[in-house]
């Protein structure tokens, strides 16, 4: 009879890892808000926040404190339970995706114990990410619905249809990638992109699937509700969008969830297309440095890539003007989905007939 | 038809090509522009620590001047109040008593001198009108306040400190 072997050390290890990742993503999201304001300032020849602490580094704390102290208003005719559930769901789904990202290579201690820097190595990692991303729409949808406000409802309907439309192209663009890798496990996808150069070609998936990457990136922007696709939050035509009735920290949760989403999706993009924690000449570094140092370098490399990706998201936001809703739908249904389908077919043909895997 | 200027440009209204419709090249161009702004000079300054120099003709808060011996120059002639388009200046004259020669330069002086800074438009006509070089506009920006009364600047607020008295201290 097979009993579930519960390893106490494993549980402690995972709890520590989960708390570190949670705190880390919250911290990075916090400073992403600061970074966004600084990036916006640089783009517009301004100084940006510089009052709170050196270089305004305490600004996110001040913002958070302010949101906590604001009056909490729950509209009279709202559906109270769902109204509170909305921001919770947005936050929950934002944080859940980070569970399957491999943050570093396995580290073997002197006693032969293997420490994994991935919370859960599930063999359907990508599918899990898709599931959670689809759930993310519920946070927006429920919040907009429960507010009992026409503008919120319209905005959340827009958000939902936008997310569903772009999820199609997102999924199809990834099928092409998954045909190459042959696995859904993020851990294996990263392991396949080992180093930078392998068998006479770049090992990172970005160089194997450039079209897929562009489609994935565009859809990621749409899924994140970020500019140029920030239609759910529209000051001009729908007042504030789906979180119009929200105040205090519940509003903060919605805004914060966007930044956590940005961090986690940057991590996913880096994992899928830019080799995760892999970097050029990593074998030589691994031979030179100790295993402990090597693991730390790998984690830092991954974080650097993620930060670069976040900065790219911000640069795009302050560069590209926003799409109109019909343009958004046209781009999604008439350009990205056919392009993703063609990309998928071409990849399949190449794999079957040219490379004969 | 004759052209007014040579700056007219023929607009290209031909339909967009495939590469133009993919937006990618124009997005890259836009990113180049925004990235270029990293190295540009900032248009804003961190204000209280770092102040921009005023232009040489800047007109700020008024002062009432003294002569080289520390006596008040103003003789309450009322020309500044007459010149003032906003009617911000009021004053009351008084006669100098014996023994006050150190305080007031001439026989008549301003016992009361008030400028309502909420009325003042900082045109500088009072400075131009003054025959005794008594009133000047400085480079100080008027500070904000909570009450209307505090914007009526009395003679004590306007008069510069006596240089002779400061020396004796």
For residues A268 and B158, give the distance between their C-alpha atoms in angstroms, rounded to a whole number.
67
Residue in chain A lying closest to B48 (CA): A51
How much is the CA Rg of chain A, to the nearest whole Å? 21
For residues B54 and B45, give the distance between their C-alpha atoms in angstroms, rounded to a whole number.
14
Closest in A45, A316, A320 to B40, CB measured: A45
- Please report how the helices A8-43 and A248-273 are oriented relative to each other, as an axis angle in degrees rounded to 10: 100
The whole-number average pLDDT for the span A271-281 is: 85
pLDDT band at B169 (very low <50, low <70, confident <90, very high): very low
Beta bridge partners of A203: none
In CATH, the architecture of B62-168 is 2-Layer Sandwich (3.30)
E strands along B117-156, which residues?
Answer: 135-137, 152-153
Q: Do A198 and A142 contact (CB within 8 A), yes or no?
A: no
Q: How many Cβ atoms from other residues are within 10 Å of residue B102's Cβ?
A: 11
ipTM computed for the complex:
0.73
Candidates A35, A44, A331: best to mutate against B (most CBs of B within 10 A) is A44
Q: Could you tell me the CA-to-CA distances from A92 to A41, A135, A157, B169 in Å, in that order?
A: 31, 10, 21, 70
For residues A70 and A68, give the distance between their C-alpha atoms in angstroms, rounded to a whole number.
6
Residue A42 touches partner B, C-beta closer than 8 Å: yes
Q: Do B44 and A47 touch (CB under 8 A)?
A: yes
Beta bridge partners of A108: A114
Is the residue at A274 inside a domain? yes
Q: What is the pLDDT of residue B151?
A: 92
Q: What is the pLDDT of residue A307?
A: 92
Q: Do B37 and A320 touch (CB under 8 A)?
A: no
Residue A122 touches partner B, C-beta closer than 8 Å: no
The whole-number average pLDDT for the span A13-29 is: 88
| Chain A residue numbers touching B30 (CB-CB < 8 A) | 319-320
Q: Report the number of distinct structural domains present in chain A.
A: 1
Q: How many Cβ atoms from other residues are within 10 Å of residue A245's Cβ?
A: 24
pLDDT in tens, B98-121: 888 888 888 899 999 999 999 999
Q: What's the domain range around A213?
A: 74-355
Closest in B30, B43, B44 to A320, CB measured: B30
What is the interface size between A and B, counted as CB pairs within 8 Å?
33
Is the residue at A329 inside a domain? yes
What tokens does A205 get? 């998936």
Q: What is the pLDDT of residue B125?
A: 93
Q: What is the pLDDT of residue B157?
A: 87
pLDDT band at A341 (very low <50, low <70, confident <90, very high): very high
Is the residue at A99 inside a domain? yes
Is the residue at A310 inside a domain? yes
pLDDT in tens, A210-245: 888 999 998 888 888 887 887 777 766 777 777 788
The whole-number average pLDDT for the span A279-302 is: 83
B156: phi then psi, degrees, rounded to nearest 5: -65, -35
Could you say which DSSP state residue B151 is in?
G
């Amino acid at each position: 009879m097979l009993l579930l072997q519960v390893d106490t050390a494993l549980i402690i290890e995972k709890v520590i890892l989960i708390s570190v990742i949670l705190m880390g993503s919250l911290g990075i999201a916090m400073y992403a808000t600061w970074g966004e304001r600084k990036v916006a300032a640089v783009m517009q020849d301004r100084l940006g926040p510089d009052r709170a602490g050196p270089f305004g580094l305490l600004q996110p704390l001040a913002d958070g404190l302010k949101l906590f102290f604001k009056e909490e208003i729950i509209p009279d005719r709202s559906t109270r339970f769902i109204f509170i559930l909305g921001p919770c769901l947005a936050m929950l789904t934002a944080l859940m995706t980070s569970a399957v990202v491999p943050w570093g290579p396995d580290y073997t201690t002197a006693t032969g114990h293997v420490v994994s820097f991935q919370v859960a190595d599930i063999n359907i990692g990508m599918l899990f990410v898709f599931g959670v991303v689809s759930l993310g729409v519920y946070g927006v949808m429920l919040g907009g619905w429960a507010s009992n406000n026409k503008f919120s409802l319209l905005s959340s309907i827009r958000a939902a249809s936008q997310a569903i439309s772009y999820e199609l192209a997102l999924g199809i663009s990834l099928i092409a990638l998954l045909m190459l890798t042959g696995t859904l496990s993020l851990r294996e996808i990263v392991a396949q992109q080992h180093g930078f150069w392998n068998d006479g070609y770049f090992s990172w998936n970005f160089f194997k699937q450039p079209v897929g990457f562009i489609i994935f990136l565009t859809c990621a922007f749409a899924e994140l509700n970020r500019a140029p696709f920030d239609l759910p939050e529209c000051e001009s035509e729908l007042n504030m969008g789906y979180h119009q009735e929200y105040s205090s920290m519940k509003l903060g949760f919605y805004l914060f969830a966007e930044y956590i989403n940005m961090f986690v999706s940057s991590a996913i993009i880096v994992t899928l297309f830019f080799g995760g924690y892999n970097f050029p000449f990593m074998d030589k570094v691994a031979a030179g440095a100790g295993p402990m140092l090597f693991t730390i370098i790998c984690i830092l490399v991954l974080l650097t890539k993620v930060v670069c990706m976040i900065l790219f998201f911000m640069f795009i936001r302050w560069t590209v003007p926003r799409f109109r809703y019909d343009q958004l739908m046209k781009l999604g249904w008439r350009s990205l989905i056919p392009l993703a389908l063609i990309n998928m077919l071409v990849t399949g043909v190449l794999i079957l007939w040219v490379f004969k895997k | 038809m004759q052209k007014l200027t040579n700056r007219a440009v023929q607009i290209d209204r031909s339909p967009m090509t495939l590469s133009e419709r993919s937006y990618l090249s124009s997005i890259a161009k836009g990113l180049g522009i925004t990235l270029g702004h990293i190295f540009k000079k900032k248009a804003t300054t961190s204000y209280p620590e770092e102040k921009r120099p005023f232009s040489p003709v800047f007109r700020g808060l008024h002062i009432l001047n003294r002569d080289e011996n520390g006596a008040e120059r103003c003789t309450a002639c009322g020309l500044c109040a007459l010149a003032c388009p906003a009617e911000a200046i009021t004053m009351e004259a008084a006669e100098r008593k014996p023994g006050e020669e150190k305080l007031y330069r001439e026989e008549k002086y301003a016992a009361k001198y008030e400028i309502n800074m909420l009325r003042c438009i900082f045109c500088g006509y009072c400075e131009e009108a003054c025959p005794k070089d008594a009133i000047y506009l400085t480079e100080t920006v008027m500070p904000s306040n909570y009450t209307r009364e505090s914007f009526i600047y009395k003679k004590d607020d306007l008069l510069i400190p006596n240089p002779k008295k400061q020396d004796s201290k």
